[in-house]
Amino acid sequence: MKPEGHLFSHMPRLSKSRYLGGLQCDKRLYLETHAPNLATPPDEATRAILDMGTEIGVLARSRFPGGVLVEAGYRQTQLALEQTSSLLADPTVPSIFEAAVLACGVLVRVDILERVSGDSAAGSTWRLIEVKSSSRKKDLHLQDIALQTYVLQQAGIGLAGSALMHVNTQYALDSAGVDLAQLFTLHDVTEEIAPRLIELPEQLEGMRGILERPEAPIVEPGAHCHAPHECPFWAHCTKDKPARWIFHLPGQTRTIQGLREQGIETIDAIPQGTKLSRVQELVRANEEWCGAKLPHALRQVRYPVHHLDFETIMPAVPRFHGTRPYQVIPVQWSNHIEYENGNILHQDYLAFGTSDPREELLARLLESLGTEGTICVYSQYERSVLGALADEFPERRADIRAVQKRLWDLFEVIQAHYYHPAFGGSYSIKSVLPAVVPSLSYTDLEIQGGAVAAREYFRMAFEVSDWVEQARIADALRAYCARDTLAMLELRRSLLQKAEGRCT
C-alpha cells in the first residue's frame, strides 16, 4: 500500500458511511463528521435489520476458505491498517476480510478482498467484493463499491475487478443443507462503476470543502431525508418545526413540495381550494370525523367474531426444506374470539423447536377459526400469508379459501369511515389504537413491534439454548401477538360505541 501523504492529513477523514451520507445531504455529511452525538440512535427494529446484514456478511466469508479477518475494530484504525498491510504482503493469504485501506483522506473497510493472482504484495492482483444482504443490486451499492475501488486504486493496490455479492432469492434449500455457492449471487460491476470513478475526485473534493466549513450547511429537511435511508439527524433538524408542520401532511411528496414552494409552512396555512386527497383534507380539518356509513360498515360482522394476527419470520438464510431466502414463514398466530353475548376467548399458537412449523400451525389455526363467523384482520397481510399456505399445502386449499372468504379488514373500514386528529395522518394500528382506545397500548410490553418480534423468535428458535431464556422470549412473543388481536377487538367495540353515540 502506498503511504498516505500529508496533503490530506489536516482534514477530517472521510469514510464510506460519511461519503454515502454526503450523497444524501451535505448537512448529514457535516453532522456525521463533526457532531455525531446529534444523531438519534437506531431503534430496536433498525438494529434487528442491521444484525441480519452482519450475519450475512459473516456467512459470505465461508465462500472464501483460508481467508483471514482483520481483527482490529472500527475504532482501531492504525492497527487495522497495519494488519491489512501485512496480510496483503503475505502470499499464503488467499483473501482478506474487513481489509482497512486509507488513501486521499478516505478510509474504507472492504468486506472481502480476494487475491486472484500473484504471490507478493507488489505483484498481486485482487478482486474487491462488497457483500449485501439485499436480494438485488441497487444504485447505492454501486456508489459504495465505486468509492472503495477508487480508494484501493489510489492506495496502489492492483485490482482485477470489483464485484457485488448479494442474496439469491431463487435458491431453495434442499436436504443437502445450505449451498453457499447458490445462496449468494456474484455480479461483476467493474464496468458499471467506471463512470462513477471519473466523478469521484470532484465529489470528494466537494465533500472536503463542506467538512472544512466552520458551521453545518443550511439544508431544509424534506423528502430527501428519508431516501435512500432514514437520516438519523431527522429529529435534530426538525426540532424547531411547528407541530402542524406542512411536512406532516400525509400523501404525495409532490403535493407537499408544491405547497412548500408557495411558502406554506403549516397545514393550517394551506389555502382553501387547494386540491387535496381525502386523508389530507381530514388532516387539515384536524377534527374527529365519523363517516355516515361507519355504523353500517361495523355491523357487517357475523358472530363469533375472530380477530386474527400472524407473526412471521423472513430468514435471509432459509431454514426449512424447500424454502427460499426471505420467504415469509408464519411462526405464530393469535385469535381473540368475541361471542354475541360479549364473552371473549383467546387462543394462540407459537412454534417451538427448529423444524418447519407451518403444517402444525395451519392445522391448529383452522381448528381455532372453525367455519363460523367473521375473521377480523388489520391489513391484507393475513390474506397473503394464508394464500402462501394454500400454495404450500394444496390438500388444505379448500379450507383456506373458505377462511379467506370470511376475512374482514378493519383497517379498510377505519380508513373509509373514521378519522381522529391523533392519527396524524397514519392509519397504522400503533397510531389508531391510542387515539380510539387510550386505555390500551403497547408500551407495557417487552416486544412492541413486528421486526423485533421476528428477531426474538429467531433467537428463541435457533440461537438460545437456555430454556429459561427461551420461555421468557416465548412469553413476550405471545403477549405481543395477543395485544395485536385484542387491539382489533377493542377498536371494533369502541368504534361501534362511537358510531352508535355521538358519531351518528
Residues 6+ apart with CB under 8 A from 81: 1, 100, 101, 102
* Ramachandran angles phi, psi of 337, nearest 5°: -110, 125
Work out which of 234, 320, 381, 442 binds ligand SF4, going by CB under 6 A: 234
Per DSSP, 245 falls in state B
With H, G, I as helix, E, B as strand and everything else as coil, classify residue 125.
strand
Query: Which residue lies nearer to ligand SF4 by CB, 40 or 286?
Result: 40
Give yes or no for residue 225 binding ligand SF4 (CB under 6 A): yes
Smallest Cα–Cα separation from 484: which of 311, 364, 301? 311
Q: Which of 52, 70, 189, 237 binds ligand SF4 (CB under 6 A)?
A: 237
Residue with smaller CB distance to ligand SF4, 33 or 374: 33
Rule CB under 6 A: choose which of 18, 19, 23, 27 binds ligand SF4: 27
**Cβ of residue 134: shortest distance to ligand SF4, in angstroms?**
21
Stretch that binds ligand SF4, among 23-31, 310-318, 409-417, 475-483 (CB under 6 A): 23-31
Smallest distance from ligand SF4 to CB 108, Å: 22
Q: How far is CA 458 from CA 94, 128, 172, 356, in A?
A: 33, 32, 19, 13
69-88: which residues touch ligand SF4 (CB under 6 A)?
Answer: none
* Interface with ligand SF4 (CB under 6 A), residue from 12, 17, 24, 425: 24
Touching ligand SF4, residues 421-460 (CB under 6 A): none
Q: Three-state SS for 203?
A: helix
Q: Minimum CB separation from ligand SF4 for residue 27, in Å? A: 4
CA dihedral over 376, 380, 386, 390, signed as positive or negative: positive
Stretch of 84-92, 141-149, 185-193, 224-232 lying at the interface with ligand SF4 (CB under 6 A) = 224-232
Specify the residue, 234 or 393, whose C-beta has the smaller distance to ligand SF4. 234
The least CB distance from residue 32 to ligand SF4, in Å, is 8
Q: Is 244 in the site for ligand SF4 (CB under 6 A)?
A: no
Nine-digit cell string for 482: 395477543
Could you tell me how far CA 21 lies from the centroid of its own chain?
A: 18
Closest separation between CB of residue 10 and ligand SF4, Å? Answer: 25
Cα 211–chain centre separation: 30
DSSP result, 137-182: --HHHHHHHHHHHHHHHHTT--EEEEEEEEE-TT----TT---HHH
DSSP codes, 383-450: HHHHHHHHHH-GGGHHHHHHHHHTEEEHHHHHHHHEE-GGGTT--SHHHHHHHH-TT--STTSS--SH
Write each residue from 146 to 185 as x if it is in contact with ligand SF4 (CB under 6 A), else as -, in one continuous string.
----------------------------------------
One of 20, 22, 23, 28 touching ligand SF4 (CB under 6 A): 28
One residue of 64, 126, 150, 233 binding ligand SF4 per CB under 6 A? 233
φ/ψ of 15, rounded to 5, equals -140, 175
Tell me if 31 contacts ligand SF4 by CB under 6 A: yes
245 binds ligand SF4 (CB under 6 A): no
Radius of gyration (Cα) for the chain, nearest Å? 27
Strand partners, 108: 101
Residues in a beta bridge with 463 = none
The Cα–Cα gap between 209 and 188 comes to 33
Cis peptide before 304, with omega less than 30 degrees from 0? yes
Q: Which span (26-34, 388-396, 435-443, 448-456) binds ligand SF4, by CB under 6 A? A: 26-34
Q: Which of 210, 219, 435, 464 binds ligand SF4 (CB under 6 A)?
A: 219
DSSP, collapsed to helix, strand or coil, labels residue 376 as: strand
Our finding on whether 18 is near ligand SF4 (CB under 6 A) is: no
Based on CB atoms, which residue is closest to ligand SF4, 28 or 420? 28
Give the footprint of ligand SF4 on this chain (CB under 6 A). 24-25, 27-28, 31, 219, 221, 224-225, 231, 233-234, 237
